[in-house]
A and B are shown apart, each in its own frame.
Chain A
Amino acid sequence: MKFLSKVVQPFIKCMHCVLSVGPMPSHIGFIMDGNRRYATKNKLKQVAGHEAGYSALLSMVTYCYEMGIKYVTAYAFSIMDLMTEKFELLCRKDSFFNGYGIRVHISRNLQLLPQHSRDTANKLMASTVNNSGLLLTICMAYTSTDEINHAVEKCCQEKWVKNDGGIISLADIEKRMYMKIAPDPDIIIRTSGESRLSNFLLWQTAGSYLYSTSALCPEIGIWHLVWAVFNFQRYQLFQKKKNKHLK
């Protein structure tokens, strides 16, 4: 179980006090990329790179929790296998998630996960369903285009059953997206210097501030998060000024 030390936690609380003078994001998305490059750079095995990436993800979730951010979504495309292994441990009552009161939601296309992974993912969600803190959504076996396609399929299936002659509206599609459980992200943070969204939350990021850092996934830390939030605040203040001017 990973808790912040007695030195780090008050420091983050102070950062939060300063940051919260301005508008705070309620939802941050992470594209955690660069575990293999980290392993190569540090002459480690690939597994060690993925473990380091997994630890970095948990650290970022902790920092977000301490800063009062309500929703975190992580694209686990590079650590999917490792995450599935960790699910059993994370289901325990004394696990990291239960210790922080974090509720976990796995955003995925069920059909693409093996049966064992599906079962442990469902078990993890059930074990944290009563937690009322931060909602952590882990996107596994997920692509945005599959999410959109799936939502359209569900709308069509329900319309066939209803047979009321109505049309499928945008609101109908949005109600059936995997990510309907959270508001649209305010910030997307991508590691390893890439500037693509890689088929992640394409539908939900129309108004999101896209922040890219050259740090590899295991190298990401509190300062990257703080920097992203300060730049988000600058964007928000600009938008506020613009809207005032338009009125």
Chain B
Amino acid sequence: MDFSNESRVLHRCSAQIGNLLLLSLWHLVHSIIRICNFTLDIANVLESYLISSGLLGRYKSLHIAKLRYLAIVIESEEAYQTSKIIELLQWLEAVGVKHVCLYDKEGILKKSKDFILENLDGAILFQDAHENNVLLDQQHMTLEFVSFSDGKEAVAKAANVLFMKYSKSGVTDQNQKEKIFTESQMSEALKTVGSGGPEPDLLLVYGPARCHLGFPAWRIKYTEIVHMGPLKSMNYGSLIKAIYKFTMVRQNYGK
């Protein structure tokens, strides 16, 4: 009996030691990852400084015309930092970006829309500037404000629009296996419910990780998604680098 109690105690101790060892290893690996990321961050900060000061020649000329529509996704907690967002938009304006879509999941940016537009000289709402959501050359920057309700919920509204349209047209008599709607009809329905903006070429994510946070699915089929880090650490050099890399990627298509 003593022997079996002892072996149970021994087993329990070995299990605890094993768990402690695994926990230590796990923390060790995560510490190594933190150190690696910290080192990368320092290198990025140095590079950003060199880019901002114009010392890296290749970043001086951006083929900005290739970036027709830019989306910025911001973690909702950071979306309250409107002064940072205005600064970011001013950098984009200086670089020559004409059309920007701002997204945060909870619609904080939509609530700050008027404040942002007031503080950005000449910026106008995308919906006011374009007919049929077609991108036109504009003198001033256009801004679109989007949230989670413009994604999945908009698709549900568009579904009801399509249902109404086609139940009136008598298409219900068709064989149920045949295709009823095309993707372009779905796009039209999304425009009807106010969620049919253009597809961004590039999507910059300001947050803790590379994650699009529910940006309207219909619009990011072939969008390049780049993680920029938290908004509080944003810098001009990283922004230029991201845009430059995008313009270089576009140039390599077809090679």
Contact = CB atoms under 8 A, between A and B. Distances in A.
A210 B172 contact: no
Contacts of B218: 145, 148, 202
Most buried by B among A19, A111, A149: A149
24 contacts: A21-B26, A22-B30, A146-B183, A148-B186, A148-B218, A149-B186, A152-B155, A159-B163, A160-B163, A160-B172, A168-B163, A173-B159, A196-B224, A198-B221, A202-B220, A202-B221, A206-B214, A207-B213, A231-B33, A233-B30, A234-B30, A235-B209, A235-B211, A238-B209
Given A202-B220, A210-B227, 14 more contacts: A18-B22, A148-B155, A149-B183, A155-B159, A160-B167, A170-B155, A172-B156, A173-B156, A195-B224, A206-B148, A207-B211, A210-B210, A210-B225, A234-B33
A149 B222 contact: no
Q: What's the dominant secondary structure at chain A's contact region? A: helix
Top 7 A-B pairs ranked by shortest CB distance? A206-B214, A202-B217, A21-B26, A235-B209, A199-B221, A152-B159, A168-B159
B162 interface: yes
Interface of A: 17-19, 21-22, 111, 143-146, 148-149, 152-153, 155-157, 159-160, 167-170, 172-173, 195-199, 202-203, 205-212, 230-231, 233-235, 238-239, 242
A148 B23 contact: no
Contact of B156 (A159, A170, A211, A231): A170
Nearest to A145: B183
A61 to B, nearest CB: 24
Given A149-B183, A157-B176, A160-B167, A199 B222 contact: yes
Nearest to B158: A152
Contacts of A148: 155, 186, 217-218
A156 B211 contact: no
Most buried by B among A19, A148, A155, A159: A148
B118 interface: no
A21 B181 contact: no
B25 interface: yes
Nearest to A237: B30
Nearest to A18: B25
Interface string B210-240: 1111100110111111110000000000000
Given A144-B221, A173-B159, A196-B222, A149 B181 contact: yes
B121 interface: no
A202 B227 CA distance: 17
Contact of B211 (A146, A203, A209, A234): A209
A170 B224 CA distance: 27
Contacts of B58: none
Contacts of B30: 22, 230, 233-234
Nearest to A238: B208
A145 B181 contact: no
A144 B220 CA distance: 10
B226 A195 contact: yes
Contacts of B29: 18, 230
Given A152-B186, A210-B225, A17 B22 contact: yes
A173 B155 contact: yes
A195 B211 CA distance: 11
A231 B30 CA distance: 9
A185 to B, nearest CB: 11
B160 interface: yes
A144 B210 CA distance: 20
A197 B220 contact: yes
